[in-house]
Amino acid sequence: MPALGEVLKKFNPWHKEEEPLPPPFTPSTAYLLLALYALVYFIPFYLSPTTRPSPTLSRDAPSVIRARIRSVSLSCALCTLITALILSRSASLSPSAILHLLGVYPLALLPAVKILLLTSLLFLGPLYSYFLVEKGYKPWSTLSPLRETLTEWTDYRNYIAGPITEEILFRSSSLPLLLLSQAPLSSTIFLSPIIFGLAHIHHFYEFRLTHPAVPISASLLRSLFQLGYTTLFGAYANFLYLRTGSLLGVCAVHAFCNCMGLPQIWGRVEDENEDKKINRLWTVGYYVLLVAGAWMWYGHLWGLSESVETGLVGVDQW
Please identify which of the residues 6, 19, 100, 200 carries the catalytic annotation: 200
Please identify which of the residues 100, 166, 167, 206 carries the catalytic annotation: 166
The arithmetic mean of pLDDT across residues 286-294, rounded, is 97
Checking if the pLDDT of 233 tops 70, the result is yes
Closest alpha carbon to 192 in 215, 172, 206: 172
Checking if the pLDDT of 174 tops 60, the result is yes
For residues 130 and 198, give the distance between their C-alpha atoms in angstroms, rounded to a whole number.
31
Q: Angle at CA 61, nearest 5°, toward 59 and 67?
A: 75
The arithmetic mean of pLDDT across residues 252-276, rounded, is 86
For residues 107 and 240, give the distance between their C-alpha atoms in angstroms, rounded to a whole number.
14
The arithmetic mean of pLDDT across residues 65-85, rounded, is 97
The arithmetic mean of pLDDT across residues 80-103, rounded, is 95
First-to-final CA distance of the chain: 21
For residues 165 and 9, give the distance between their C-alpha atoms in angstroms, rounded to a whole number.
48
Does the annotation count 152 as an active-site position? no
Does the annotation count 166 as an active-site position? yes
For residues 86 and 79, give the distance between their C-alpha atoms in angstroms, rounded to a whole number.
11
Greater model confidence, 212 or 261: 261
Backbone angles phi and psi of 245, in degrees to 5:
65, 25
Binning pLDDT at 50, 70 and 90, where does residue 273 land?
A: low
Residue 247 confidence (pLDDT): 98
Checking if the pLDDT of 31 tops 70, the result is yes
Binning pLDDT at 50, 70 and 90, where does residue 307 land?
A: very high
Residue environment code for 120-133, b if the CB has 16+ CB neighbours within 10 A, otherwise e:
bbbbbbbbbbbeeb
What's the pTM?
0.89
The per-type count for the chain, helices as H runs and strands as E runs, is 17, 0
Query: Cα-Cα-Cα-Cα dihedral of 252, 139, 69, 239, to 10°?
Result: -20
Maximum distance among all Cα pairs of the chain, rounded to whole angstroms: 84
Residue 50 confidence (pLDDT): 87
Greater model confidence, 197 or 73: 73
Checking if the pLDDT of 22 tops 80, the result is yes
Residue 318 confidence (pLDDT): 80
Q: What is the DSSP string of 212-241?
A: TTS-HHHHHHHHHHHHHHHHHHHHHHHHHH
Q: Report the chain's mean pLDDT, rounded to a whole number.
A: 89
What is the share, in percent, of the chain residues with pLDDT greater than 70? 91
Closest alpha carbon to 126 in 267, 279, 295, 261: 261
The arithmetic mean of pLDDT across residues 105-124, rounded, is 96
Rama region for 298: left / alpha / beta (φ>0; ψ in -120 to 50; rest): alpha
